[in-house]
Amino acid sequence: MTLPANISINIFYLAAVFYAASLIVLPLPKKAWSVFFLCLGLAANLVSTIIRHLSIWPLLPMYAEPFFLPGCIAMMAVVIICFKKTEQGLYIIPLIIIFALIGVFFPNDFYLPILQSRTIFSHIFFLFTTIAHACFGAGAVLALLFIFRKDKGERPVFSRFIIWGFSCYSLALFSVQVWSYLGWSSPVVWTNYILTSSAATWFYYACFFHLHLLKRWRVEHRAAFVVAGFVLVFFFNYLPETGVFRMPVLIW
Q: What CA dihedral angle connects 83, 88, 91 and 97, to 10 degrees?
A: -20
Q: How many domains are there within the chain?
A: 1
Over 70: is that where the pLDDT of 155 sits?
no
Cα radius of gyration rounded to whole Å, the chain = 18
Per-residue pLDDT, 186: 73
Q: Is residue 91 part of a domain?
A: yes
Residue 248 Rama label (left phi>0; alpha psi -120 to 50; beta): beta
Q: Is the pTM of this model over 0.85?
A: yes
Checking if the pLDDT of 4 tops 80, the result is no
pLDDT band at residue 1, thresholds of 50, 70 and 90? very low
Kindly state whether residue 250 falls inside one of the protein's structural domains: no
CA gap 223, 89 in Å, rounded: 17
pLDDT at 3 over 90: no
Report if residue 139 sits inside a domain: yes
Asked if the structure places residue 210 within a domain, the reply is yes
**Is 60 a domain residue?**
yes
Q: What is the pLDDT of residues 27-62, one digit of tens each?
A: 888 888 889 999 999 999 999 999 888 888 888 887
Domain range for residue 46?
3-241
**Between 76 and 62, where is the model more confident?**
76
Rounded Cα gap, residues 252 and 238, in angstroms? 29
Q: Is residue 39 part of a domain?
A: yes
Domain for residue 249, yes or no? no
Tens digit of pLDDT for each residue in 88-137?
Answer: 888 899 999 999 998 888 765 556 667 677 888 888 988 999 999 999 99
